[in-house]
Structure 1
Amino acid sequence: MERIYIFKRFERFWHWSQALLIILMMVTGFEIHGTYTLLGYGDASELHTSAAWALIALWVFAIFWHFTTGEWRQYIPTTENLVAMLRYYLSGIFTHAPHPFRQTQLRKHNPLQRLAYLGVKLLINPLIWLSGLAYLYYNEINAAGFGLDLGVVALVHTVGAFLMLAFLVVHVYVITTGHTWSSHLEAMITGWEEIDDPQAGVKP
């Protein structure tokens, strides 16, 4: 095993802050929809809105950080090793096959991760962001003459939320697919990732 520093301090802060806010919004969002009662509708709605503004601020800051540091390049899609990664997750992982991708500071995400994260940034986040703002300012938008359908806005926001939930479930599963069940989790806490020695048959 080789130990390398992959995730910078801000990346770890951004990751865990975003995760906390998203989970908080899911918990309060499902309560707002009447799935269960924990805080009561009023408190859940207020907390949901506060978490939403905090998440938007975090996204704006993270976008700025990614572009000023050049880290946005980590999300450029690539087909290199894409089929190998699919084969690994579908079968190789269950037969202890060597991992077809080797992390470096310049290549932190494998091809499937790049596609997934790009989808979150370009589809799911804007879907939640825009529909949430439309829901929050529905009266003002309609007063300006745009004539939004509240049911459609709510449906789009809910679809975005379920897409985010699906991503979260898959993300948690993938965390456990390192050389130990907790190695990827530890890397996102400490910044240091243990990777296979490229001389041991893993393609760099």
Structure 2
Amino acid sequence: MPMKEGMKKIYLYTRFERFWHWAQGALIITLALTGFEIHGTIDLFGFERAVAVHDFCAWSWLGLYVFIVFWLLTTGEWKQYVPTMEKIYDVAMYYASGIFRGEPHPVPKTVRRKHNPLQRLTYVSISTVLIPFQIGTGLLYLFYNQWADLGIANSMSLDMVALLHMIGAFGFLAFLVVHVYMTTTGHAVSAHIIAMFTGWEEVEDVDSVQDWEKKSERI
């Protein structure tokens, strides 16, 4: 397929980024399915197998999360996720209406800026709030029998922890649904998805650093 005029192809996502993207997606879906079975909502694997798979995936995700944080810190890629309010209104209005009128994206992707301000705010919120919340409630649920040894047996109930963990799970499912939809908003429906397999993505041919980037870059 010929490249659209005014576009260029750049190597945007490394192999590890692509691996962690798909691995996290698979883990989230598996954790959700097994978690719902543990709570008695669905019946797919059988209770004992669901518990075993859920625990395995939970520990795998925790290990992956540690590697992701380490990779971000050692490669400097953490800078891609520094939140900014610059252009965030423009991006929100683009997704709310501009995209349906064929308007250009207000923040084109570049190697130095893979994520627009709205994405950065979302990813930082998930990484610093939702993921630790889910890990914390999951560990409390898993080590319920050790609550007395930790001195927290009288400070909370298992039902409350289970409810909080379920709320976090719905938060991830909501993000997953929105994320899947957003993958279809490129210049072609499959463009973003293909990029997460190959690492190469067609982006607007913009080489100069935009003014909003200069204002928001304080690192």
Return the offset for 1:197: 2.9
Alignment counterpart, residue 136 of structure 2, candidates 122, 130, 133: 130
Q: Which moved more, 1:29-38 or 1:168-177?
A: 29-38
Rounded Cα–Cα distance in structure 2 between residues aligned with 1:146 and 1:36: 31
1:180 is the counterpart of 2:174 = no
Rounded Cα–Cα distance in structure 1 between residues aligned with 2:46 and 2:179: 30
1:85-120: CA deviation from partner (whole Å, max 9, x where unpaired): 011000001000011111111111000000110111
CA contact (8 A) 2:31 2:54 kept: yes
1:84 is the counterpart of 2:124 = no
Alignment counterpart, residue 172 of structure 2, candidates 145, 164, 172: 164
**Taking every aligned residue pair, what percent have the same amino acid on both sides?**
51
1:40 is the counterpart of 2:46 = yes
Rounded Cα–Cα distance in structure 2 between residues aligned with 1:112 and 1:146: 38
1:53 is the counterpart of 2:59 = yes
The match for 1:68 is 74
Equivalent residue letter for 1:119: S
Alignment counterpart, residue 114 of structure 2, candidates 101, 108, 118: 108
TM-score, normalising length: structure 2: 0.89
Return the offset for 1:196: 2.1
Return the offset for 1:143: 3.0
Alignment counterpart, residue 196 of structure 1, candidates 185, 195, 204: 204
Rounded Cα–Cα distance in structure 2 between residues aligned with 1:144 and 1:188: 43
Q: Which moved more, 1:125-134 or 1:145-154?
A: 145-154
Return the offset for 1:36: 1.4
TM-score, normalising length: structure 1: 0.95
Equivalent residue letter for 1:95: R
Rounded Cα–Cα distance in structure 1 between residues aligned with 2:141 and 2:131: 15
Equivalent residue letter for 1:44: A
Equivalent residue letter for 2:135: W
CA contact (8 A) 2:110 2:203 kept: no
Equivalent residue letter for 1:70: G
Rounded Cα–Cα distance in structure 2 between residues aligned with 1:2 and 1:83: 26
Structure 2: gaps of 5 or more residues:
1-6, 214-219
Query: What RMSD in Å do the two structures reach over aligned CA positions?
Result: 1.6
